[in-house]
Amino acid sequence: MRSWSIPIGRLFGVEVRLHLTFFFLLMFVWFAQSAANGTALAMRGLALVGLVFGSVVLHELGHALVAIRLGVKVRGIVLLPIGGITFMDDNAPHTRQTAARDIRISAAGPLINLGIGIGAAIACVGLLHMNLLARPLITPVNLTKSFVWANLFLGLFNLLPAYPMDGGRVLRSWYAQRMDYVQATRRAVTIGQTFAALFMVAGIWAPWLMMIGFFLFIGAQIEDRTAIFQSVLETVRIEEVMLTDFSTLSSADTLEDALHKAVHSLQDEFPVIRGSDLVGVISRQRILDALRGGNGYVQGVMNRGFQIAQKSETLAAIFRRIGTKGLSLVPVVDGDRLVGIVTMQNLTHSMALLAESRKLQRMEE
């Protein structure tokens, strides 16, 4: 989710991130409009981008709110110029019921844009007596009319059966009733990339279509990586990626001794043991903060609210634990014996390698 995107805030507790291609759109509009029509119209062009951005936010917020209402946890939203991607933690098995639920979630975004567009159109015609059919339909010269058509186009465009557009998600749900979920996603992604290629070819005659095809291709790539990531989560066990060469601290260590050990370790987080029992975890930063108030013992400042994982658990289980509890280190045990640790940093590195490995295996097949 964090690839090529920056955080811009939270809505209803959901992290919202802006994909860097939005800045590409801003530059494209600025240079195209300023070269052809001057700086004043270029500024209106940026205002038009802002209206499209607001419509995209409402679109993705519709997905998120319906998902939350249906009991699906939403992790975040990444906004693209032609839509966005709502990342969800969905642990339910994929059945006909979940497919119907996914269709409702997917349809929410386009329906919001179409509803806004139709409502704004009625207001423009009824109150402002505006001719909405006059060409061009979307132009910086008339931002009100452009807002109407931007929402109508966003709604209709996202109904295309081109993944990751919402129509493509409906298609993926249909495929998922007949085959493996990851395979269904990859088939929908392939169709989406075909649409992207067609749009880019059509861009020879209309540059905007080429840009839409580019954004569509980027979105499909993100979803493809997400599908691979999810397949790795569900099939890889913790013992395959846990750190087995790690340092521990004793609850009886002084903070100065603990800091000395931390200096000679690459770890940022440490399990704390008493004898052979695991009694807590502590971070390098926590040791430093505690030392500012004077020396003491690790047991006095360690975090006792840790969670453990069995080495046979899947990565999906550990990611859910880290995400919901806000943990940065999870000790891994075999029975009652500490055999490894999992940190967010080592998970990130391991997942990247495992995902690339799965991708290479598929290419060889």
In whole angstroms, what is the distance from residue 293 CA to residue 311 CA?
Answer: 38
From the centroid of its chain, how far is CA 291? 38
Whether the bond between 164 and the residue before it is cis, its omega within 30 degrees of 0, is yes
In whole angstroms, what is the distance from residue 195 CA to residue 225 CA?
Answer: 19
Catalytic residues: 60
Annotated binding site for Zn(2+): 59, 63, 166
Which residue from 247, 319, 318, 252 is spatially nearest to 284, judged by alpha carbons? 247
Q: At a CB cut-off of 8 Å and minimum separation 6, what does 76 contact?
A: 1, 14, 15, 16, 17, 86, 87
In whole angstroms, what is the distance from residue 359 CA to residue 186 CA?
Answer: 12
DSSP 72: P
Q: At a CB cut-off of 8 Å and minimum separation 6, what does 339 contact?
A: 239, 242, 244, 311, 332, 333
Record the tokens describing residue 41, joined without a space.
């119209």
User: Considering all CA atoms of the chain, what is the largest pairwise distance in Å, rounded to the nearest integer?
Assistant: 81
Using the structure block, give the residue that is written with the tokens 């070819």. Answer: 201
Q: At a CB cut-off of 8 Å and minimum separation 6, what does 43 contact?
A: none
Q: Strand 14-19's sheet: what is its strand order?
A: 5-11, 14-19, 73-80, 83-89
Q: Evaluate whether 139 touches 52 at the Cβ level (below 8 Å).
A: no
